[in-house]
Amino acid sequence: MQTKRTIFPNKLLPYILLAPQLAVTLIFFIWPALQAVKSSFEREDPFGFKTTFIWFDNYKRLFADPSYLNAAGNTLVFAISVTVFSMSLSLLLAVAVNRVLRTNRLYTTLLVWPYAVAPVVVGILWWFMFNPSVGIAPYLLRGVGINWNHRIDGNHAMLLVIIAASWKQISYNFLFFVAGLQSVPQSLTEAAAIDGAGPFKRFWTIVFPLLSPTTFFLLIVNINYAMFDTFGIIDATTAGGPAQATNILVYKVYADGFLGLNIGSSAAQSVVLMLIVIALTAIQFRYVERRVQY
Amino acid sequence: MFKNVLFLSAGLAAVLSAAPVAAQTEIAWWHAMDAELGKKLEEIASGFNASQSEFKVIPTYKGSYAETLTSAIAAFRANEQPAIVQVFEVGTGTMMAAKGAVYPVYQLMADNGEPWDPSSFLAPVTGYYSDTDGNILSMPFNSSTPIMYYNKTVFEKAGLDPEVAPKTWADIENFSRKILESGAAPCGFTTAWVSWIQTENLSALHDQPFGTLENGFGGLGTEFTFNGDVQAKHWTNLKKWADEGIFKYGGPVGGPDAAPKFYAQECAIFMNSSAGRAGVINNSKDFEVGFAPLPYYDDVTTEPKNSIIGGATLWALNGKSPEVYKGVAQFFTYLSRPEIQSGWHQTTGYLPITNATYELGKEQGYYAANPGSDVAINQITRGTPTANSKGVRFGNLTQIRTVVDEEFEAMLAGNKTAQQALDAAVERGNVILREFEAANS
């Protein structure tokens, strides 16, 4: 098929039109990224008086640092848990809402609310509900014999940030799943029903595969969310504690750079994160996307 | 139409820029005081602004201490720094090492012909903020020291004499047991600032070194030594008491959950900065509060040393015009006036940092009328300070305190013994010290 293309005779015009966009990208993305790469090879005092080029010392020290490897492990646990937890729950909710005919608008609206809450506020809400001294959750848990204290117990703390981060993301996933479900042709499920397939069979063999573009998209978004966008929640609930049990890579960049004023190490960590993002995106688009039916 | 708008806005701009009749020199002051403390601080600034017309101090709240320091440093790198920044005691090592960024206060005052007498400040304050040559580098402003608050009402319910405060750690244990057994409260004691109070001050009180080279005062080559017997014994006890329910942990850094536990009468005893006094008084409407010095181990020492300083000082940053510094110097002189200082000290619970302020308070009968308000000053000035009780000075202390908190939490969770946790904290802390040394020498 031949598409008709408009050809601009002016060779300069396209570049001029692109310039604003490119300028924004250069100033706000490329330039800081290069600065980070540069800083990651340097050792510098906080005020920037003395800068020494030290090659890969920051990186070497980073990968020899058990707390960094610990943060990497935490990130893995956290990102996978949040993604699985929030996606499966929101799929369940979406399927449920999709079956309700009359009030589904109402449910949809209610379920979307948490998305409008700022991450720090989410953190504070859960921090308050699970506060070992004044929170309602530890009080109820004590009734069933669980002594909740995320100030001391690292597993409790991890569970808390996973719940808080997932809760926030459920609305987003839910919206996409509802939209995805509505685009599944009724005729297919009806035909399957006539052939005698039960609701579970219909869901897993027809609806779920047809949802795969949505699921794939959400997978990327959720992993990125859990890895890079949960800073506010962690800061407000556990601040990475206790004993670094909930310190994830992104939070460590902040803690080392902004609280610890160790700019070199913090820059090296951001460069590592940058590489992770690039790798993740490449893998996802190259290998996973091919298997998705659109 | 367009012309009119242009004309109007030009006129408006002229009016706006002409508004201050005499051109005032503006002095930016970044601070970390929120709520009541912040209000009081702004009062001081407007008091200064009203006292003269040449300068205008503009205080700006920049968040927590750590955030304030970070923003000041970032601003300095971008050449947008404030003239004055409030830096907590933990940042002192970092600021002192940044020689090019700081305009030392003794020099600032001399250059601008303002009176400056280091001996007018309390000795522990001078000691903590002087460089190795004995010059004070930053303007003492809000200094505090940890003390003990206790709930007299709960003490009475438990059959204890409310007028007798626990003196030693053995008392804390016994009193707490009684409180728990009698059901007067579900927890004996809690603490804010595990690193500052239960480690740094514990070491000072018992004359134990926290680090080599006079706790870091002697140079950047210092190494930590706070994994000694006394500290290990104390941490072991804290773990034991935590398991028994006598002690409840209030969280890392400042211990955000500690104060609520005391206010809610869950814990009967609370160790916190003397600057927590205003908060304690405001939140103890339902019970009576007693104030006492920090406890000590009487099998280690019978005469505990002075406690060490916390709080913050004001640093003048380089890169401003001479007029600005003239204003800063005048403002610092204003700040040191006894009547200004005592207003701050008496409303906030911070220490009276000059001798004159303390004397003024005595004359006014403030300490007699407010029992417990002199606990902090008596505790910090008692005896002769030793190299171990003079204070601590380490670079990157913010990070190091986080390490101490983390190891403390690992111990509470049962992953490590007290000795293992302290050894690990010393080892990790030394790595941070070496990094600071490398970056600053």
Task: Please check whether residue B264 touches A, CB under 8 A.
Answer: yes
Compute CA B311 distance to the chain's CA centroid, rounded to the nearest angstrom: 2
Q: Please tell me the total number of residues recorded for chain B in this structure.
A: 441
pLDDT in tens, B66-95: 889 989 998 998 899 999 999 998 888 889
Confidence category of residue B7, pLDDT binned at 50, 70, 90: very low
CA–centroid distance for B235 within its chain? 23
CATH number of A57-291: 1.10.3720.10
B251 interaction partners in chain A (CB closer than 8 Å): 151, 241
pLDDT of residue A212: 86
CB-CB under 8 Å, B101 with A258: no
Model confidence at B321: pLDDT above 60: yes
Does A44 lie at the interface with B, CB-CB under 8 angstroms? yes
Q: How far apart are CA A138 and CA B142, in angstroms?
A: 37
Q: Where are the domains of chain B?
A: 22-144+309-369, 146-307+394-440
Residue-level pLDDT at B37 = 86
Report the C-alpha gap between A276 and B299 in whole angstroms. 55
Q: CB distance B70–A261 less than 8 Å?
A: yes
Q: Is the pLDDT of residue B9 over 70?
A: no
Of A47-51, B59-63, B151-155, B245-249, where does mean pLDDT reach its minimum?
A: A47-51
Q: Which of B87, B267, B409 is the best substitution to test chain A (most A C-beta atoms within 10 A)?
A: B409
Write down the pLDDT at residue A186: 85
Calculate the CA B358 to chain-centre distance. 18
Check CB contact of A292 with chain B, cutoff 8 Å.
Answer: no
CB contact under 8 A, A152 and B249: yes
Return the sign of the alpha-carbon dihedral for residues A52, A55, A59, A60.
Answer: negative
The tokens describing A60, both together, are: 């070497």
pLDDT at residue A289, rounded to an integer: 65
List phi, psi (to 5°) of B168.
-115, 170
Q: Which of B251, B407, B440 faces A45 most closely, judged by CB atoms? A: B440
Tell me what pLDDT residue A2 has: 55
Nearest one of B335, B389, B371 to B145, comparing CA atoms? B389
Residue scoring higher pLDDT (B113 or B435): B113
pLDDT of residue B331: 96
pLDDT at B129: 86
Sheet with B247-249: strands ordered across:
B247-249, B187-191, B267-273, B146-151, B289-292
Chain B residue numbers with beta carbons less than 8 Å from the beta carbon of A44 are 439
Cα nearest neighbour of B187 on chain A: A133
A244 close to B (CB below 8 A): yes
Q: Using the beta-carbon criterion (under 8 Å), do A241 and B266 form an inter-chain contact?
A: no
pLDDT of residue A22: 93
Best of B62, B64, B77 to disrupt the A interface (most A CBs within 10 Å) is B77
Q: Do A46 and B405 touch (CB under 8 A)?
A: no
Tell me the pLDDT tens digit for each residue of B237-251: 999 999 999 999 998
C-alpha pair distances (Å), A30 with each of A86, A265, A277, B304:
32, 20, 15, 58
Region of A61 on the Ramachandran plot (φ > 0 left; ψ -120 to 50 alpha; else beta): alpha
In this predicted structure, what is the pLDDT of residue A291?
A: 62
CATH topology of domain B146-307+394-440: D-Maltodextrin-Binding Protein; domain 2 (3.40.190)
Instruction: Tell me which of 3.40.50.1700, 3.30.30.60, 3.40.190.10, 3.40.50.720 is the CATH number of domain B22-144+309-369.
Output: 3.40.190.10
Residue B18: which pLDDT band, with cuts at 50, 70 and 90? very low
Q: Does B169 touch chain A (CB under 8 A)?
A: no
Is residue B142 classed exposed, middle or buried when 0-12, 13-18 and 19+ CB atoms within 10 A define those classes? buried
Q: Which long-range contacts (CB under 8 A, 24 or more apart) does A212-218 make?
A: A212/A292, A212/A293, A213/A180, A213/A292, A213/A293, A213/A294, A214/A176, A214/A177, A214/A179, A214/A180, A215/A87, A215/A180, A216/A284, A216/A288, A216/A289, A216/A292, A217/A176, A218/A87, A218/A173, A218/A176, A218/A177
pLDDT digits (tens, 9 = 90+) for B276-300: 888 898 899 999 999 999 999 999 9
Pick B396's closest partner by Cβ from A48, A243, A261: A261
Read off the pLDDT of residues B161-220 as tens digits, 9 standing for 90 and up.
Answer: 999 999 999 999 999 999 999 999 999 999 999 999 999 999 999 999 999 999 998 889
CA distances in angstroms from B322 to B58, B157, B318, B325, listed in the order given = 18, 62, 10, 5
Alpha-carbon distance of B235 to B418, in angstroms, equals 5
* Residues B27 and B57 sit within 8 Å (Cβ to Cβ): yes
Alpha helices, H only, B245-374: 258-263, 277-282, 322-336, 338-348, 355-364, 366-369
The residues facing A53 across adjacent strands are A42
Span B331-372, pLDDT tens digits:
999 999 999 999 999 988 899 989 999 999 999 999 999 988
Please give the Cα distance from A132 to A123 (Å, whole number): 15
CA distances from B2 to A265, B5, B9, B11, B256 (A): 54, 5, 11, 14, 57
Selected for mutation to probe chain B from A61, A120, A133, A263 (highest B CB count within 10 Å) is A133
Predicted confidence band at B8 (pLDDT cuts at 50, 70, 90)?
Answer: very low
Residue-level pLDDT at A290? 67
**Residue B220 in contact with residue B427, Cβ under 8 Å?**
no
Q: Is the ipTM of this complex over 0.90?
A: no
More confident residue, B439 or B392: B392
Does residue B197 contact residue B221 with C-beta atoms inside 8 Å?
Answer: no
Shortest distance between the Cα of A286 and any Cα of chain B, in A, equals 40
| Residue B117 predicted with pLDDT over 60 | yes
Instruction: Pick B76's closest partner by Cβ from A47, A152, A256.
Output: A47
How does pLDDT run along chain A (294 residues), one tens digit per residue?
456 666 767 888 888 999 999 999 999 999 999 999 999 998 888 888 888 888 898 999 899 988 899 999 999 999 999 999 999 999 999 988 888 767 778 888 888 888 888 888 888 888 889 887 778 988 898 888 888 888 888 899 999 999 999 998 999 999 999 889 888 888 888 898 898 888 888 888 888 988 888 888 898 889 989 988 888 889 888 888 788 889 999 999 988 888 778 888 999 999 999 998 888 888 777 766 666 655
Chain A residues in contact with B67 by the CB 8 A cut-off are: 258
Hey, what are A179's tokens? 């939209």
Percentage of chain B beyond pLDDT 70 is 95
Query: What residues in A contact B420, CB-CB < 8 Å?
Result: none
Does B413 contact chain A (CB < 8 Å)?
Answer: yes
